[in-house]
């Protein structure tokens, strides 16, 4: 395990822990792990147990931090998740990772961000070093991640969603809520998704 690897410019909010298997002949497939916490809490250690289990099966894993609201509302967390994927592809040779076999798993807010990694292209392509790398992943595991932020505004989670959206009321920012919802980015032939929900 290699702890606290910097993948972006925002200090402790742009760190990831890398879990690497013993070197095999072929580069390892990679799973990016994204923790939950209402987009304003949680930490990358939440997926340490899962990352270690992946390594035992021959996968590489990376568990990341990202920027939180209220200091950084949407789309900061999404930009960080997309940057992490692209940074890992850029450094794939260094860590013996297969850049063509990248998946993502996330819980709650992390599931929301991982859904974007499967459904959308890079939003912020301003870093020339990463410009040629895709942020799309080949498969997604979404554990109870929000997918329709507009619909969630009629639920008990409305204050969290509104905070994530920069405290903008739904009535005046409906299109932004839809843009921030993976549901509105589903198109034909998405990558495989495993979606886990409960009541």
Digit-coded pLDDT (tens) for 156-187: 999 999 999 999 999 999 999 999 999 999 99
Q: State the Cα–Cα distance between residues 185 and 69, nearest whole angstrom.
A: 23
With CA atoms as reference, report the closest residue to 165 among 67, 43, 70, 82: 70
What end-to-end distance do the CA atoms of the chain give, in Å?
35
Report the percentage of the chain scoring pLDDT > 70.
100
Asked if omega into 75 is within 30° of 0 (cis), the reply is: yes
Distances (CA, A) of 165 to 44, 65, 113, 121: 22, 19, 14, 20
Q: What confidence tens digit (pLDDT) does each residue in 100-119 have? A: 999 999 999 999 999 999 99
Q: State the Cα–Cα distance between residues 88 and 109, nearest whole angstrom.
A: 21
Which token pair is 194? 């495993």
């Amino acid at each position: 395990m290699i702890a606290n690897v910097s993948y972006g410019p925002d200090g402790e909010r742009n760190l990831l822990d890398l879990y690497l298997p013993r070197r095999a002949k072929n580069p390892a497939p990679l799973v990016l792990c994204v923790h939950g916490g209402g987009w304003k809490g949680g930490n990358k250690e939440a997926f340490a147990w899962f990352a270690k289990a992946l390594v035992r099966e021959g996968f590489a894993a990376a568990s990341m931090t990202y920027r939180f609201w209220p200091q950084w509302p949407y789309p900061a967390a999404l930009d960080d998740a997309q940057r992490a994927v692209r940074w890992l592809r850029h450094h794939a040779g260094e860590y013996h990772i297969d850049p063509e076999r990248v998946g993502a798993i996330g819980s709650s807010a992390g599931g929301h961000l991982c859904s974007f990694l499967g459904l959308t292209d890079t939003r912020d392509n301003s870093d020339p070093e990463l410009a040629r790398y895709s942020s799309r992943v080949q498969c997604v595991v979404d554990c109870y991640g929000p997918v329709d932020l507009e619909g969630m505004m009629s639920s008990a989670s409305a204050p969290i969603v509104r905070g994530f959206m920069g405290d903008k009321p739904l009535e005046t920012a409906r299109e932004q809520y839809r843009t921030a919802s993976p549901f509105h980015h589903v198109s034909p032939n998405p990558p495989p998704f495993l979606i886990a929900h409960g009541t």
